[in-house]
Chains A and B, each alone.
Chain A
């Protein structure tokens, strides 16, 4: 009995850690690129976006996991999408009610969480095959991994484009803001270089 519970505990731990590094959605699986590039001009919107994604991912994984035995194979993607769309609507209305300014900054990228590949991918690859607990842990791991990645990318871009992080000045006076970093160019090139860095680091480890 003790042995069995040890086993499941280690499975939970592995699932949690997989999302953070080994199967990190952005760096490893290249999923959810649109919001990754679009909302990372500053840390604050990136963090909000990350939290929204964690909420939607968690809720949809729970629902999909609960209804996994009722799904017909050819209709499952449609069911996933509808579930996700419902929770995204909730998140969007919540942001509009309690954080109007942030909702305007993020614009259409909040409803675009519906078509974020991470969420569908986790519903398909994990929640529709596993029980409730594993699905919840998987959602947390993936969601936190996604949010951390967004924050790292946004941190680099905000620092270089304005010299601030979280809207607080960190760079010395002589620093000249690098405006290109807040534009699409900055997003693509920073992410490209970060991916290269991750590849190099993980190769050295192996």
Chain B
């Protein structure tokens, strides 16, 4: 029961309270780039969730079974980025084979998941927070993916409506998106007191 509670708390905190996009500024590039339409945003969210769960788990294993306590610890970043690049390659092949139309519409943003800071950031945070059970690491990485999907879908929903709004000429595009994101983080700050 106790471990279940810890896992549930961890999950809620990474999805809502410590949402990677809105409080840690990770994954801003796809957040601004792919949030134009809600179906694409959802597809991107799913792809990121898959990659982040896979690489969060793998990097935890590599970190704890191989790197920790050996002089190889300095190669941590190189190992992490290799794992992520491999996972992204897998997703890319899968999407190209089974969802060709989605693959077309993603374009450059699919391989760019490798350079999505949310993924490397999450792996680094798991290392930084000294998470020492595998299950917790898996739950946290899955939660991070869900949090990203949620944030990008909310944003896409707002932006679809924003297309109809009368925005000042010089604020069109990225500026107004950033300001909207700012107001969104303000809303999410309300959750901050919920969990330590």
Contacts and interface: CB of A to CB of B under 8 A. Distances in A.
A194 to B, nearest CB: 8
B22 A114 contact: no
Contact of A185 (B120, B176, B177, B186): B186
What is the interface residue range for chain A against chain B? Answer: 35 or more
Contacts of B28: 33-34, 37
Given A184-B182, A195-B178, A34 B26 contact: yes
A38 interface: yes
A38 to B, nearest CB: 4
What is the interface residue range for chain B against chain A? Answer: 35 or more
A108 B176 contact: no
Interface in A143-195: 183-189, 191-193, 195
Given A89-B77, A111-B120, A189 B170 contact: no
Looking at B78, B82, B116, B178, the one whose CB has the most chain A CB atoms below 10 A away is: B178
Chain B at the A interface: SS class: helix
A196 B175 contact: yes
B134 to A, nearest CB: 21
Looking at A30, A38, A108, A112, the one whose CB has the most chain B CB atoms below 10 A away is: A108
A193 B23 CA distance: 19
Looking at B76, B114, B170, the one whose CB has the most chain A CB atoms below 10 A away is: B170
Contacts, number: 123
B117 A191 contact: no
B189 A183 contact: yes
A78 interface: yes
Contacts of A193: 175, 179
B1 interface: no
Nearest to A202: B170
A72 interface: no
A82 interface: yes
A108 B175 contact: no
Nearest to B181: A188
9 contacts: A31-B29, A33-B29, A77-B111, A89-B76, A107-B128, A111-B77, A112-B121, A115-B114, A117-B112
Interface of B: 22-29, 32, 74-78, 81-82, 85, 111-112, 114-117, 119-121, 124-125, 128, 168-171, 174-179, 181-183, 185-186, 189
Given A114-B81, A184-B25, A193-B175, 7 more contacts: A85-B78, A92-B77, A107-B128, A114-B77, A115-B117, A192-B182, A199-B175
